């Protein structure tokens, strides 16, 4: 059981380049999330999805786009990368049951934008 | 929106001592308060959570207390061990419904010295 898998694990971009981060979960979870983690800032929600074909903005959505075409996948896109987007990105998923609202996180993608 | 403050940002204890991390939240409607542990190079993992209908919850060496009137909750780790060294995040949310999402504190780096 793989859980939540993020690819790639590391990436270096030049300013203005684009890329897509892929998140895949095999737990049949309805909800999926993208967070960024910066030193001293904790985990901040970028976008989230409550089901296949739906997406919503989180706390820091500017500069990012997302898509949830399949229930098991949640893609995070950077159309024109900026140095301020240097961060560690975490994907998470959950099953929206009030009895169990645990978030399952992937192992993260370290992104550097030069 | 919800705002979660976490203190201290760093905490160093001797093996066997207790560690306490405190969080306050702003939205009185929040009713779900989880704690996540993040080991180096990994994604956060849920270690314990509490809902607003209880004041305390224990799981072996860890416990969480909640004071709804004062809007604060705390993580207590007793008999600390070197493997407890990690970053700990508190979080808060209004559980249930389609807008479920957590607001995290900025994290506490706990170091347990042998």
Q: Tell me the C-alpha distance between A36 and A47, whole Å.
A: 10
Q: Is the pLDDT of residue B100 over 90?
A: no
**pLDDT score, position B37:** 98
Find the CB nearest A42 among B49, B96, B104.
B104
User: Which residue, B62, B66, B64, is CA-closest to B31?
Assistant: B66
User: Which residue, B73, B79, B60, is CA-closest to B19?
Assistant: B79
Radius of gyration of chain B (CA): 14
Q: Is the pLDDT of residue A108 over 80?
A: yes
**CB-based contact B49 A102, cutoff 8 Å:** yes
Angle at A101 between CA A100 and CA A106, to 5 degrees: 115
DSSP A24-38: EESS--SEEEEEEEE
Q: Is the pLDDT of residue A98 over 60?
A: no
CA B42 to chain centre: 17
Burial B11-50 (b: 16+ CB within 10 A, else e): bebeeeeebbbbbbbeeeebbbbbbbbbeeeebbebbbbb
CA B86 to chain centre: 12
Nearest chain A residue to B99 by CA distance is: A50
- Please tell me if residue A66 touches chain B, with a CB cutoff of 8 Å: no
HEC string of A60-112 equals CCCCEEEECCCCCEEEEEECCCCHHHCEEEEEEEECCECCECCCEECCCEEEE
> How many Å lie between the alpha carbon of B70 and the closest alpha carbon of chain A?
23
- pLDDT tens track for B46-85: 999 998 888 899 999 999 999 999 999 999 999 999 999 9
Q: Tell me the C-alpha distance between B76 and B98, whole Å.
A: 31
Q: Tell me the C-alpha distance between A53 and A69, whole Å.
A: 5
Backbone angles phi, psi at B84, to 5 degrees: -80, -10
Tell me which residue has tokens 């929600």: A45
What is the share, in percent, of chain A residues with pLDDT greater than 70?
Answer: 95
Backbone angles phi, psi at B38, to 5 degrees: -120, 110
Nearest chain B residue to A46 by CA distance is: B101
Q: Is the pLDDT of residue B97 over 80?
A: no
Q: Tell me the C-alpha distance between B46 and B37, whole Å.
A: 6
- pLDDT tens track for A62-88: 999 999 999 999 999 999 999 999 999
């Amino acid at each position: 059981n793989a859980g939540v898998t993020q690819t790639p694990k590391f990436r270096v971009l030049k300013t203005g380049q684009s890329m897509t981060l892929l998140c895949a979960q095999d737990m049949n979870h309805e909800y999926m999330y993208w967070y960024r983690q910066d030193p001293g800032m904790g985990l901040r929600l970028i976008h989230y999805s409550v089901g296949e074909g739906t997406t919503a903005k989180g706390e820091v959505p500017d500069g990012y786009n997302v898509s949830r075409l399949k229930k098991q996948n949640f893609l995070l896109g950077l159309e024109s990368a900026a140095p301020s987007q240097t961060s560690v990105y975490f994907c998470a998923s959950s099953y929206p049951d009030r009895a169990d609202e645990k978030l399952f996180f992937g192992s993260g993608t370290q992104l550097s934008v030069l | 929106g919800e705002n979660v403050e976490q203190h201290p940002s760093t905490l160093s204890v001797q093996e066997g001592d207790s560690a306490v991390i405190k969080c306050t939240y702003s939205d009185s409607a929040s009713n779900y308060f989880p704690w996540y542990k993040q080991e180096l190079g990994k994604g956060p993992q849920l270690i314990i959570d509490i809902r607003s209908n209880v004041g305390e919850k224990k799981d072996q060496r860890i416990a969480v207390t909640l004071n709804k009137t004062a809007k604060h909750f705390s993580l207590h780790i007793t008999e600390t061990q070197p493997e407890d060294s990690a970053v700990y995040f508190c979080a808060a949310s209004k559980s249930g419904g389609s807008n479920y999402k957590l607001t995290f504190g900025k994290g506490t780096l706990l170091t347990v010295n042998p």
